Structure 1
Amino acid sequence: MGTTQQRFMRRGVTKFYFLKTIAGAGNLPVRTELTGTNATDLSGAISDIAGWSLANSPIDTPDLGSTLTTNIPGEDKADSSTLTFYEDQAAETIETLLSKGVEGFIVILRKGDVPASKSMDVFPVRVASRAPAYSAGSDPAKFTVSFAISGTPTLDAAVPAAS
C-alpha cells in the first residue's frame, strides 16, 4: 500500500444536522434541504456522540459434516444512538427541536461539507428521550437525547453539490 492517507480529526470537520423532512427518495437530501429552514446544524452544541452505526447479528449454521460452526450474515441492528448537548441557559432551541416523539433525520457529513464526497450518512430517527445531566461539580450543563433509528439508514452517500 503505497498510497498516502490524509488523516483528520472529527472535531471541527464532521457535521451533524437534524432535518425535519427529506423530499427525495432514498432519504437523500438535496443542498437546499441541508441549508434551508428545514435543517438545523447541531455540530456546535454537541459535546458527545454515541452509536450511529449498524451491527450484524450472524446466524450459526452448524452441520453434521464438520465440528466447525460456520455462520451466515443475519439481521442488521442499529446501535443505541445518542447525542449529548451543552445546555443553553437563555434558550431552549435544541430542547424544543428534539422533544420526545419528534421524527426526522440525523444527517452526518463524516468528512465535512465536501460536495460529492461519499461520506454522508442519513438516519431516519424518532426522539426516544431527552434527559438533563445533573452535577454538583464544575462541569458544563448538558443533556442527552436518545434516538430510535426508525428506518433503514442510507450510508456512504454523496454529499450534495453546492448550489
Structure 2
Amino acid sequence: MSVTQQRFMRRGVTKFLFLKAIADAGNVPLRPELASANATDLSGAISDVAGWSLANSPIDTPDMGSPMTTNIPGEDKADSSSLTFYEDLAAETIETLLTKGVVGFVVIMRKGDVPASKSMDIFPVRVAGRAPAYSAGSDPAKFTVTFAISGEPTLDAAIPASS
C-alpha cells in the first residue's frame, strides 16, 4: 500500500487561538466558543512557536531472564512551550490578554479551520511569563510569552462544524 499526501506549509494555514474558557470537561470547544469574544485569534501576530508537544519518559524494566533492558511507557510531560509575537507600536492587545498568571486554553488547528478535521490540539495553560526581545539591529520588535501546560492536553480533536 502506498500513501498519497497533499503536503503543506504551516505558515498561513495553522491557526492559534487563545480561549479564556471552554465549557466541555474534555476541553473540546464548540463552534460558538471559537467564534466568541472569549476567543482571540493570535495567528497573525506570531513570529515563532516553540514546544506544544508531549514527550514520554519510558521506565526501564530489566529482568534476570535477559541481558536486554526493556522498558514500558512512563509519564508524559509537556515540552516547554512559548509563542513569540510581534510587538504593536500602537496597542497592547496581546500583552493585556496574556499577562503573567492568566489561565486559559491555547487551541491549535494544525491544518487550519477545517470542520471535522481531527487536527485540533487544545492545551490548558497558565501564562508563566512574558519577556521583550531587545535588538540594536533592524529586527522587528518582539516579545515571548512562556506558558505552563496546566493540565492534560486534548490532542487530535475534531474541529466543530461551522454554524
Within 5 Å, which residues of 2 pair with 1:128-143?
128-143=128-143
Moved more, 98-107 or 1-10: 1-10
Query: What residue number does 1:19 align with?
Result: 19
Within 5 Å, which residues of 2 pair with 1:58-69?
58-69=58-69
Letter in 1 for 2:33: E
Distance apart, 1:3 and its partner CA: 3.2
Unpaired stretches in structure 1, ≥5 consecutive residues: none
Q: Deviations over 1:134-154 (max 9, x none)?
A: 000000000000000000000
Moved more, 95-104 or 3-12: 3-12
Question: Paired residues, what number?
Answer: 163
Letter in 1 for 2:85: F
Query: What's the TM-score once normalised by structure 1's chain length?
Result: 0.99
Identical pairs, percent: 83
Distance apart, 1:22 and its partner CA: 0.3
Query: What residue number does 2:150 align with?
Result: 150
SS at match of 1:95: helix
Cα RMSD for the two superposed structures: 0.6
How far apart are the structure 2 equivalents of 1:80 and 1:25? 24
Query: What residue number does 2:57 align with?
Result: 57
Point out 4+ residue stretches in structure 1 off by more than 3 angstroms: none
SS at match of 1:16: strand
How far apart are the structure 1 equivalents of 2:161 and 2:26? 17
Query: What residue number does 1:7 align with?
Result: 7
Letter in 2 for 1:99: T
How far apart are the structure 1 equivalents of 2:7 and 2:85? 26
How far apart are the structure 1 equivalents of 2:160 and 2:97? 24
Q: Deviations over 1:18-58 (max 9, x none)?
A: 00000112001000110110000000000000000000000
How far apart are the structure 1 equivalents of 2:149 and 2:125? 5
Query: What residue number does 2:35 align with?
Result: 35
SS at match of 2:60: strand
How far apart are the structure 2 equivalents of 1:25 and 1:102? 19
